Amino acid sequence: MGYLFFQILIWILLAFGMGGITGWLLRGFTHAFQDDEKEADEQSSRGSDHIMVALLKSELSDYKKRVRELETAAPEATPPPEKTRPRIADEWQPAPLTEPKGAADDLKKVRGIGPKIEKTLNELGIFHYYQIAALNKENILWLNDHLHFPGRIEREAWVQQTRELVQQSIEQTANG
């Protein structure tokens, strides 16, 4: 029985050894075949890359030619004319003052007049409530044009507000 066991064990070891050698040899052949395939793929892709580069270069040169043609054919671009609105005649300007009579009134008390508009009004020679209260329709048109806020004076009733402020200052002066 021991003899039979050793004989089977030897045959198993021989089969295992032959299988290992056969596998090792086949692996070497398949790696060599795969390496050849990879090299062939790389060469073909390099060739197709060169073809793509050549195609792109020719396409680029075509586009450059087209750009030159369009640049020479296109007329010189001129900027569109500025849209200017007609200015209101200066004869409608309210009587400006070069400087305030006494202390300038705080025009910001009028609803709709902020620091920026007050500064603009001062630059236009308007420092006091009575100047705004005395505005007529032509003066209002001129002032709207120069403030760049069409209709604001009427919409926010500057004339009425300043008339009330003038009335209040007259009453304060009379009372005390």
Tens digit of pLDDT per residue, the chain (176 long)?
788 888 999 999 999 999 999 988 888 777 777 777 777 777 766 667 778 888 889 999 999 998 888 888 766 666 666 655 555 556 556 767 778 888 888 999 999 999 999 999 898 889 988 898 888 888 888 888 888 878 888 999 999 999 999 898 888 888 86
pTM of the shown model: 0.48
80 lies in some domain: no
Residue 64 lies in a domain: yes
Q: Which of 49, 74, 99 is the last residue of a domain?
A: 74
Q: What is the DSSP letter of 111?
A: T
Q: What is the largest CA-CA distance in the chain?
A: 144
Token reading at 10: 């030897």
Residue 139: which of 127, 149, 131 has the closest Cα? Answer: 131
How many domains are contained in the chain?
2
Read off the pLDDT of residues 109-158 as tens digits, 9 standing for 90 and up: 999 999 999 999 898 889 988 898 888 888 888 888 888 878 888 999 99
Same-domain check for residues 69 and 96 = no
